[in-house]
């Protein structure tokens, strides 16, 4: 590709874009490298039953690693789009998540990976919802409107992610998860006069989900 030709990112129709002036540094754990951040998107999706995972950016991607953009590319559009299919959906249904809220491709890839991880864990908590969390990623057929993934808070689904139940960061360390769950469990324990058995069980499920995948 000529050096003066700008690669355009194929952003999913109906998904909102972030004004470049509103982008912020990612507030979570950025210990994974750029390569690891993109690889984790694929890993988390495949653990969730995804197939045909394809990551797109405005950068050139490595020929032998098509889901990883060139390290030295610095496009103005730092958005990351991942398209995939899911074992629980019809084979012809294409799904997608997209993020451009943060300042770099690495940060946006990291955010998508954590979003997928928490959605997967939320399903494991067994909370009944109006639609599956996979449905938040469904793209339209033809010219129908897309269902946008939302802002990372769970999209249209009413599922509470484990870290939301506990009120901790998505990548909180195990000792923090255990301490917070211990405190919340003490307050909600059914043996207390103002205890709540359902809330107590949700806390335990959320704790176990986060520790299991920590």
> Using CA atoms, how far apart are residues 100 and 92, in angstroms rounded to an integer?
26
pLDDT in tens, the chain (214 residues): 444 456 889 998 878 899 999 998 888 777 889 999 999 999 999 998 899 999 999 999 999 999 999 988 889 999 999 999 888 777 778 889 999 999 999 999 999 998 888 888 777 766 545 455 555 555 544 333 333 333 333 333 335 678 778 877 777 778 888 888 888 888 888 777 777 888 888 888 888 888 876 5
- Residue 91, Ramachandran bin (φ over 0: left; ψ between -120 and 50: alpha; else beta): alpha
Quick one: tokens of 137? 């990623």
Cβ atoms of 207 and 178 closer than 8 Å: yes
Q: At what angle do helices 197-212 and 105-124 cross, to 10 degrees?
A: 130
Cβ atoms of 9 and 79 closer than 8 Å: yes
Kindly list the domain boundaries of the chain, sorted by start residue.
1-157, 160-214
pTM of this structure: 0.64
What topology is assigned to 160-214 in CATH? Helix Hairpins (1.10.287)
């Amino acid at each position: 590709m000529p050096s003066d030709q700008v690669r355009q990112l194929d952003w999913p129709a109906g998904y909102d874009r972030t004004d470049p002036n509103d982008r912020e540094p990612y507030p979570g754990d950025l210990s994974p490298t750029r390569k690891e951040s993109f690889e984790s998107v694929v890993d988390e999706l495949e653990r969730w039953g995804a197939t045909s995972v394809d990551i797109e950016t405005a950068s050139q991607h490595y020929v032998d690693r098509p889901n990883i953009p060139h390290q030295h590319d610095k496009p103005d559009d730092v958005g990351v789009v991942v398209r995939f299919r899911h074992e629980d959906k019809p084979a012809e249904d294409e799904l997608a998540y997209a993020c451009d809220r943060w300042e770099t491709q690495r940060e946006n890839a990291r955010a998508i990976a954590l979003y997928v991880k928490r959605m997967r864990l939320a399903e494991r908590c067994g909370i009944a919802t109006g639609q599956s969390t996979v449905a938040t990623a469904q793209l339209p057929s033809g010219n129908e409107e897309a269902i946008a993934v939302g802002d990372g808070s769970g999209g249209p689904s009413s599922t509470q992610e484990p870290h939301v139940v506990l009120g901790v960061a998505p990548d909180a360390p195990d000792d923090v998860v255990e301490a917070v769950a211990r405190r919340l469990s003490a307050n909600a324990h059914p043996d207390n006069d103002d205890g709540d058995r359902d809330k107590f069980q949700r806390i335990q499920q959320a704790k176990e989900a986060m520790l299991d995948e920590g």
